[in-house]
Amino acid sequence: MIFYLLRRIVYTVPIMLGVAFFCFLLVHISPGDPLVAILPPDASVELQRQLMTLYGFDRSWPEQFFGWLWRALQGDLGTSIATGRPVADEVFRAVGNTLMLACLATLIGFLLGSLFGFVAGYFSNSWVDRAASALSVLGVSVPHYWLGMVMVIVFSAWLGWLPPTGAGPGGSDQWAWDWAHIQYMVLPAVTMSVIPMGIIARTVRALVADILAQEFVVGLKAKGMTDSGIFLHVVKNAAPTALAVMGLQLGYLLGGSILIETVFSWPGTGFLLNSAIFQRDLPLLQGTILVLAMFFVLLNLLVDTLQTAIDPRIQR
Amino acid sequence: MNDTSPLIDVRDLRVVFTGGKKPVEAVNGVDLTVARGESVALIGESGSGKSVTLRSLLRLHPERRTRISGGIRIAGHDVLALGSRPLADYRGKVASMIFQEPLLALDPVYTVGAQIVESIRRHEAVSREEARKRALELFERVRIPSPARRLDAYPHEMSGGMRQRAMIALALACRPQVLLADEPTTALDATVQIQILLLLRELQRELGLAILFVTHDMGAAVEVADRFAVMYGGRIVEEGPTREVIRNPRHPYTLALMQARADGAMTKGARLASIPGSPPDLANLPAGCAFAERCAYAREACLATRPEAVDLGTGHRARCLRTDATAHALQHTEAQPA
């Protein structure tokens, strides 16, 4: 188990390097001059060159890459062109916000998705199954930004129960675990949870139906297990795959929530990426992508480890 | 219940599966008894209803899609009348089952030891330590080498023979009176098969179990069974003491089954005898004898009515109108040089 873990951790190093290289490359081969956004239109060539030198854009790209990588390894992701603040600070504050939102959304999605999935799997081909399946297909296929706007219209504009946008009263940056702040999280989290809920429900339904058709369930009955006893066996058999799917979903939500974060003005990574792209803020873009990729890799590692702990058949 | 009454007593068992387009009559009036300490082999080809009969004794068929009628009494329990809780209490405690492929019949994500402990603690109020001690004794009893270590193994970590031993240990965990075995050696190597059969035989004698044993392998059945019951088309077509049925089969189907066996004396290049045609469609059974279509001795009468059992003495019965023809054919083939 320990060797397995060590091996997995060593494997992540080349993956991370590859990811760093490709995100550097992608950002640099895309057209557009990053400095245009902050320079006044009538800026002198002299000033332009000064800034180029300051950000290192005048050097060859391998030089830039290794310089950036070396500094990144020391925790320095450069300075944002747009705000002039260190990229690392910006990214980690955004990651914190996104992580909170994504975890809550995944948790809601996982709980409801598992519930629907189990009910549908146990009563497969009944009306309950069809209703749960329809709901999950709806969850996967409804455009989430649209759902977000509908939620805002219903719960903020009509009912006035919850605030529509932001991450705290008065647009404050400081997060606190009190209702004044948490209420800002409810709408985006619920909207976001619809994505993993649909996928997890479908996965769990297929898993449960498959497990219930297996011979060992008959074996459990034959030794006198009651339905609740058999249920525990089904859960333990379904858990590894369901957890893996949940982990992947959390990974997607960490980076893939640009639309929802934009709709709700939630100051997370999606929001940050969005503004970095529009402002051609290369250091910020690069840093954000790198950190997100890191999270994805680490999350996969965590999920694989958990799976190995639950399912003995997976090679250690 | 006195000691002479049979432990397994099945009367006119009928099982119909109603899940498909047409109802499938898998078992059509099976009468069967197994006494304490007796071992009976239920023999037949795929689709003869032997496994369905066996599984009915624990009511393992999906309730919604199955209609079972007739009577099943096992060790004094009226199995078909049990409610869901008493049924669960009965399963594994009074009668338990060994499956054909233990790799599929054991939960892959629990250790074998945990599954035995679970079974014991399901039926008896004992501590985990006590249950584990009993599991260890069971492993020793079924002769699994280094039993303490094997208790912590997962099913996929064991060899086929070892898994079947573990399955037997699991089945015996709550000291049942009746052991139902569903092709227990089919998935095993020939050398391991015989070991498992001998183990079953030995356990049966020591524990006084009643064993009902389903197989399509005559060779395996001879090793374990005191009595044979041959099934075809959902009915028992011939039954009797093992030696009697083997030496003196009186139903054409039994005779054909025995002739279709490959034995050591077969000469190289000789054709293996087979039964022409295919088993009857259980959703559309003929009015007469189900075997008549494939039978070499069939007459007009065979197609008209389902034959009743003919008593041939010493518990030997055959459901056939032409038992004399089979007897004659048998003498004829025996006279032929091998």
More confident residue, B336 or B157: B157
Q: Which chain A residues are Cβ-neighbours of B171 within 8 angstroms?
A: 223
With CA atoms as reference, the chain A residue closest to B109 would be A311
Which of A215, A221, A236 has its CB closest to that of B91?
A221
Is the CB of A316 inside 8 Å of chain B's CB atoms? no
Average the pLDDT over each of A259-263, B187-191, B195-199, B331-335 and give the range with the smallest value. Answer: B331-335
Average pLDDT over residues B181-189: 87
Query: Are B68 and B244 in contact, with CB atoms under 8 Å apart?
Result: no
What's residue A220's pLDDT? Answer: 94
User: What is the spatial distance between Cα B291 and Cα B268, in angstroms, rounded to a whole number?
Assistant: 31
ipTM, 2 dp: 0.86
CB of B123 within 8 Å of a chain A CB? The answer is yes
Cβ of A311 within 8 Å of Cβ of B109? The answer is yes
Question: Mean of the pLDDT values across residues A4-28?
Answer: 83
**Sign of the Cα pseudo-torsion (A209, A214, A220, A224, in order):** positive
Chain B contacts of A219, Cβ < 8 Å? 97, 99, 105-107
Binning pLDDT at 50, 70 and 90, where does residue B289 land?
Answer: confident
Q: Is the Cα dihedral A23, A27, A29, A30 positive or negative?
A: positive
pLDDT of residue B107: 93
Residue among B104, B118, B154 whose CB faces A216 most closely: B104
pLDDT one-digit tens code per residue, B82-95: 998 999 999 999 99
Query: What mean pLDDT comes out for the span B37-62?
Result: 91
The whole-number pLDDT of residue B256 equals 85
The answer to whether A168 and A174 are in contact (CB under 8 A) is yes
CB contact under 8 A, A313 and B108: yes
More confident residue, B165 or B310: B165
Structure tokens at B141: 């009893």
Give A222→chain B minimum CA distance, Å.
6
Q: Containing H/E element for B25?
A: strand B24-34
The torsion region of residue A19 among left (phi > 0), alpha (psi -120 to 50) and beta comes to alpha
Q: pLDDT, tens digit, for every residue of B202-226?
A: 888 888 899 999 998 888 888 889 9
Compute the distance between CA of residue A4 and CA of residue B143 in angstroms, rounded to an integer: 34
Cross-chain residue pair B109–A226, CB shorter than 8 Å: no
3-state secondary structure at position A146: helix
Given CA atoms A103, A105, A106, A110 in this order, what sign does their dihedral have?
positive
The answer for residues whose C-beta is within 8 angstroms of residue A289's C-beta and 6 or more apart is A23, A27, A273
Question: Residues of B with CB below 8 A from A216's CB?
Answer: 104-108
SS3 content of chain B, % helix, strand, coil (to 5): 40, 20, 40
Contact A260, A266 (CB under 8 A): yes
Distance CA B231, CA B238 (A): 7
CA distance A198 to A195: 6
| Integer angstrom CA distances of residue B29 from B12, B42, B75, B232 | 4, 15, 21, 12
Domain with CATH 1.10.3720.10 in chain A: 93-278
Alpha carbon A300 to its chain centroid, in Å, reads 12
- Tell if the CB–CB gap between B97 and A222 is shorter than 8 Å: yes
Of residues B84 and B331, more confidently modeled: B84
Instruction: Say yes or no: B154 contacts chain A, CB-CB below 8 A.
Output: yes
Q: Which residue has the higher pLDDT, B292 or A211?
A: A211
CA distance A100 to A182: 10
Angstrom distance (rounded) from CA B293 to CA B297: 10
Q: Is the pLDDT of residue B70 over 80?
A: yes
* A222 contacts B108? CB cut-off 8 A: no
Residue written as token pair 């039954």: B239
pLDDT at B33: 92
Asked if the Cβ–Cβ distance from B99 to A236 is below 8 Å, we say no
Examine the pLDDT at B330 and tell me if it is beyond 70.
Answer: yes
Cα(A199)–Cα(A128) distance, rounded to whole angstroms? 17
Which among A46, A41, A27, A57 has a CA at the least distance from the CA of A276? Answer: A27
> What mean pLDDT do residues A296-307 have?
80
Architecture of domain B8-94+176-262+274-335: 3-Layer(aba) Sandwich (3.40)
Residue type, B279: P
pLDDT in tens, B116-145: 999 999 999 999 999 999 999 999 989 999
pLDDT at A144 over 70: yes
Cβ–Cβ under 8 Å, residues B40 and B224: no
Are B99 and A219 in contact (CB < 8 Å)? yes
Letter for the amino acid at A310? I
Q: How many CB pairs under 8 A join A and B?
A: 77
Instruction: Tell me which chain B residues have a C-beta less than 8 angstroms from the C-beta of A224.
Output: 88-93, 119, 122-123, 174
Q: Which residues contact B327 (CB under 8 A, 6 or more apart)?
A: B248, B250
Backbone angles phi, psi at B225, to 5 degrees: -90, 140
Using alpha carbons, select from B164, B182, B176, B171 the residue that is nearest to residue B52: B182
Q: Report pLDDT digits (tens) over A166-198.
A: 776 665 566 677 777 777 888 888 888 888 888
pLDDT of residue B262: 61
The predicted model scores a pTM of: 0.78
CA-nearest of B279, B309, B307, B273 to B293 is B279
Which uninterrupted H or E stretch holds A180? helix A179-212
Q: Which of residues 213-242 of B touch A (CB under 8 A)?
A: none
**Band of residue B295 on the pLDDT scale cut at 50, 70, 90:** confident
Helix A227-255 vs helix A215-222: crossing angle, to nearest 10: 140
Chain B partners of A124 at a C-beta cutoff of 8 Å?
none
- Pairing relationship of beta strands B178-182 and B24-34 according to DSSP bridges: unpaired
**Residue in A95, A135, A92, A134 with CA at minimum distance from that of residue A112:** A135
Beta bridge partners of B235: B232
Among candidates B180, B170, B166, B178, which has minimal Cα distance to B118?
B170
- For residue B194, give the 3-state DSSP assignment: helix
**Domain segments of chain B as ranges:** 8-94+176-262+274-335, 104-175
d(CA B6, CA B37): 10
- Return the percentage of chain B with pLDDT > 70, whole number: 94
Decide if A136 contacts A116 (C-beta within 8 A). Answer: yes
Q: How many CB atoms lie within 10 A of CB B236?
A: 29
Mean pLDDT of chain A: 82
More confidently predicted of A209 and A177: A209
Please say whether the beta carbons of A81 and A284 come within 8 A.
yes
Q: Is 3.40.50.300 the CATH classification of the domain at A93-278? A: no
What is the rounded average pLDDT of the residues A79-90? 82
Instruction: State how far residue B331 is from chain A, nearest Cα, in angstroms.
Output: 45
Contacts of B235 (CB under 8 A, 6+ apart): B27, B28, B29, B30, B49, B290, B306, B319
